[in-house]
Amino acid sequence: MAVLGNRRNTGEIIEKYHFNFQKKFGQNFLVDSSILDRIIESAQITEKDCVLEIGPGIGTMTQRLAEEAGEVVAVEIDRNLIPILQDTLSAYDNVTIINADILKLDLNQIVEEHNQGRPVKVVANLPYYITTPIIMALFENHIPLQSVTVMVQKEVADRMRVGPGTKDYGALSLAVQYYAKPEIITRVPAACFMPRPNVDSTVIRLERYEKPPVETEDEAWLFAVIRASFNQRRKTLVNGLANAGKLGVSRQQAEEVLTEIGLPATVRGETLTLEQFADLSNRLLRRKAAGPA
């Protein structure tokens, strides 16, 4: 069994199986062992942990996870990689390989089956094209999580951790910061991958909060308000809310609530903190429930 995480052994496995990289799956395999070390260290994996790995590829990080964790569940969408994983992970009896689309799996059921419903740790090198849907699915579906340690496109990691008033601040920033504390672990140059992507990456760790830092009367409503506020980024918050038909919020209602919390009607969503969005959504929800004055 070849130990992966370097260019030579990765190349040999790819050649052995005549593997062709699939652009539609955003496949870039890590070939830098020092970056692997940083990921494993920052994920704080112990033998008591059950780890969910998303997109194991040829098993580079899976090998390392299997050596540290009690159990690893690796979900890979590309069926052409399954025979390779069975080869590269043959020495480990604590790895379960699932050939599926992570967004179509019942992850709560998997956590129940493999970890008796206790929180798992997620580790992944996420394809750039689907990073946000995966992160949001993990949190919004309330999968029992301790932490999520992922390698993502640098710009996406920046969006997860920035605050109000910056160009990268948006719905993803607010959602991640509602559920977890984001921490940048390390930058990863494009040269650390095979094949080399067009952009640099970042490893970011999201430590799940036991309780969100703000109180909301309806979590789904809060995020509907946030999404509406950023759908038309260059327009005012009032316009964004009033133009989101599904919300059923009038321009007058939006202006009145903003006045209540001390904000001008011309304010844009990108300037509000998570606390202000929670206050705004709670007040809008109460106003809707009360009906016409």
**Which CATH topology does 219-290 take?**
Helicase, Ruva Protein; domain 3 (1.10.8)
- Report the greatest alpha carbon distance in the chain: 72
Pair of tokens at residue 164: 């109000």
CATH of domain 7-208: 3.40.50.150
The burial class, CB within 10 Å (0-12 / 13-18 / 19+), for 174 is: buried
Number of neighbours of residue 256 by Cβ within 10 angstroms: 15
Which value, to the nearest 10 degrees, does the dihedral of the CA atoms of residues 9, 15, 20, 26 take?
Answer: 0
- The residues of the chain that CATH labels 3.40.50.150 are 7-208
- The residues of the chain that CATH labels 1.10.8.100 are 219-290
E-only strand ranges, the chain: 29-30, 50-54, 71-76, 95-99, 120-125, 145-153, 180-188, 193-194, 201-208
Q: Would you give per-residue pLDDT tens digits along the chain (293 residues)?
A: 678 988 999 999 999 999 988 877 788 999 999 999 999 999 999 999 999 999 999 999 999 999 999 999 999 999 999 999 999 999 999 999 999 999 999 999 999 999 999 999 999 998 888 899 999 999 999 999 999 999 999 999 999 999 998 889 999 999 999 999 999 999 999 999 999 998 999 999 999 999 999 999 999 999 999 999 998 777 899 999 999 888 988 899 999 999 999 999 999 999 999 999 999 999 999 988 776 65
HSE-up (13 A, CA, CB side) for residue 179:
26
Helix 219-231 / helix 274-290 crossing angle, nearest 10 deg: 110
The burial class, CB within 10 Å (0-12 / 13-18 / 19+), for 234 is: exposed
Give this prediction's pTM. Answer: 0.91
